[in-house]
Structure 1
Amino acid sequence: MPQNPAVPVVLTLSGNDPSGGAGIQADIETLASMGCHCAPVITALTVQDTSAVHTFSAVSADLVLAQARAVLEDMPVAAFKLGMLGSLENVEAAHELLSAYPDTPVVLDPVATAGGGGGLGGEAVLEAIRKLLLPLTTVLTPNSPEARALAPRGATLDECARELLAHGCGYVLVTGTHEETDQVENRLYTGGDLLETFFWERLGGSYHGSGCTLASAIAGLLAVGLEPFTAVHEAQEYAWEALRQGYRIGRGQYLPNRLFWARDEEEAPAPATLQ
């Protein structure tokens, strides 16, 4: 097995989104953009478009574990990124995997609902995430509704973040796209305190797969050796630019243009949109 691979490997556990906006495809495109190799483990099959999730079926925990172990026994994994898990059994499977690699950074996007609407996990899944996964997480990336769902006792987002840190997370980045602020305010916490507030121009429209993009970018940057604060900062810059150059090719939300760097923006034609 190579000791110093030229391309860091990030193993991702996520659902498959046939619209290509979120989930595994978001992981693959983002991690390629970070200079990483994505090893995708499918946790759920979804029926969704750019407007909503219509239904989903979780992959069995045994098959999730088999997929992941095939990779882990074959190549060195520099980071884990977790998205939609889809069932209590898959949360337990993720815990089993991560517990065996305590020194490998973990980025957890605690997907509870899809960007266009639709529940992706019940209270049992949320409780299992709190107890089993948060203690193993390096960077947790909830949006504000997810932070409130995971830490329901918190009266403010600051209190929610501190409650999540108390479960054992290293860092919590609460994103503020759902809040009614002039600018998007993303707040990074560690050690029980607010470390930094990042301000971003609020873009028009809504986006499908923005959370997956941000979490995968952080995982990729951790995999290439950045420390968490720098990884979080640079990942936000990448995600914001992917949204700024996003496109609307379906009837619902915009999709992030995660490969914006591959084209000259001034020369590239405007993306096709539906009116």
Structure 2
Amino acid sequence: MTSAALTIAGSDSGGGAGIQADLKTFQELGVFGTSALTAITAQNTLGVHAVQPVDARIVAAQIQAVLDDLPVKAIKTGMLFSAEIIQSVAHELRAYSAIPLVIDPVMIAKGGASLLQNEAVAALKDQLLPAATLITPNIPEAEVLTGQLIRSERDMVLAANTLLSMGCSAVLLKGGHREDVPYAEDLFLTANGEHFLMRSKRIETRHTHGTGCTFAAAITAELAKGHSLEKAVVTAKHFIQLAIENGIELGQGHGPTNHGAFRNSGYLKTQEVELIERR
């Protein structure tokens, strides 16, 4: 049977992030993609120009329609926008707690536009994070969720442990925003104490729109195929590294990554990702 995955996220009219990036990533990794739309954005590489949230009842109805019929093996959330939508999503997913859930806590677009209302942060922490198999914040998102400044690897470990204390099973804290090292380093930490770092070469490019969505979607696709969380995270890291390395340079601003790069490489892992401190 073909594996299926569900993304619950916003639409990016520019095609580089959100639902569009998730579905492209699912397809590239051999997974049938389904979706529940939470918001419509008027967006391109220059920024987010308008946002229209979807009624929470319609969000719930989309989730119900997909999960009642299709064999979804993993679920991802992205842009959820409001406390009401988060509450609705959390309510619908309670009956499907056996399905792995990857939460990408989308808060701010590449151009700086807010994609999560302030009052929604508490709802995210209280109602959705405890259900997560994995949460995938970048440093600014982790700082908002934890109230802690993150400037070093030690800070990343402290913040990841704070996130674990909120009830999620594992954290992938993406370190691309750190300025104290010449490379990008992501921290994977589980509630069981499993811990490793993924170090990768920094790529000088402005075309990184949708990297967070794509990374989390790749993890979700691999989980839907039955792979372990650790293996899914590592494969997804190679997927996103190749997508950035082989950029397609579209648009005048923060352009999209190349979702087809991993397939075009023959699904071979890049030498630019190093797995370290595994225990």
Do both share a fold (TM > 0.5)?
yes
TM-score using structure 1 length: 0.91
Of the three residues 16, 27, 43, the one matched with 1:48 is 43
Deviations 1:15-59 (A, max 9, x none): 110100000110011001111011011100011111211221110
Q: Which stretch of structure 1 is more off in the superposition, 86-95 or 193-202?
A: 193-202
Task: Point out where structure 1 has 5 or more consecutive residues left out of the alignment.
Answer: 1-5, 266-275
**Which residue does the alignment assign to 1:160?**
159
**Which residue does the alignment assign to 1:237?**
238
**Which residue does the alignment assign to 1:3?**
none
Letter in 2 for 1:161: A
Of the three residues 94, 99, 105, the one matched with 1:110 is 105
Report if aligned partners of 2:48, 2:111 keep a CA contact under 8 Å in 1. Answer: yes
Report if aligned partners of 2:5, 2:221 keep a CA contact under 8 Å in 1. Answer: yes
Give the length in aligned residue pairs.
260
Letter in 2 for 1:145: P
Letter in 1 for 2:229: P
Structure 1 position 194, deviation (Å): 6.6
**Which residue does the alignment assign to 2:27?**
32
Report if aligned partners of 1:26, 1:209 keep a CA contact under 8 Å in 2. Answer: yes
Structure 1 position 78, deviation (Å): 0.5
CA distance in 2 between partners of 1:204 and 1:109 (Å) = 24
**Which residue does the alignment assign to 2:224?**
223
**Which residue does the alignment assign to 2:211?**
210
Letter in 2 for 1:160: A
1:13 maps onto 2:8 in alignment = yes
**Which residue does the alignment assign to 1:188?**
188
**Which residue does the alignment assign to 2:273?**
none
Report if aligned partners of 1:12, 1:40 keep a CA contact under 8 Å in 2. Answer: yes
Report if aligned partners of 1:187, 1:194 keep a CA contact under 8 Å in 2. Answer: no
**Which residue does the alignment assign to 2:251?**
250
Letter in 2 for 1:258: H
TM-score using structure 2 length: 0.89
The 4+ residue runs of structure 1 with deviation greater than 3 A are: 261-265
Report if aligned partners of 1:57, 1:86 keep a CA contact under 8 Å in 2. Answer: no
Q: Residues 254 and 112 of structure 1: is their aligned pair in 2 closer, same or farther, counting only changes over 3 Å?
A: same
**Which residue does the alignment assign to 1:177?**
176
Letter in 1 for 2:188: L
CA distance in 2 between partners of 1:35 and 1:9 (Å) = 9
CA distance in 1 between partners of 2:9 and 2:90 (Å) = 14
CA distance in 1 between partners of 2:172 and 2:44 (Å) = 27
User: What secondary structure is seen at the aligned counterpart in 1 of 2:49?
Assistant: strand
1:123 maps onto 2:118 in alignment = yes
What pairs up with 1:55-94 in 2 under 5 angstroms? 55-94=50-89
Report if aligned partners of 2:81, 2:116 keep a CA contact under 8 Å in 1. Answer: yes
**Which residue does the alignment assign to 1:271?**
none
CA distance in 1 between partners of 2:122 and 2:192 (Å) = 21
Deviations 1:171-193 (A, max 9, x none): 10011111112110001111275
**Aligned Cα RMSD in Å?**
1.6
Task: Point out where structure 2 has 5 or more consecutive residues left out of the alignment.
Answer: 267-279
User: What secondary structure is seen at the aligned counterpart in 2 of 1:177?
Assistant: coil
Deviations 1:113-149 (A, max 9, x none): 0122111112211111100111100011000100111
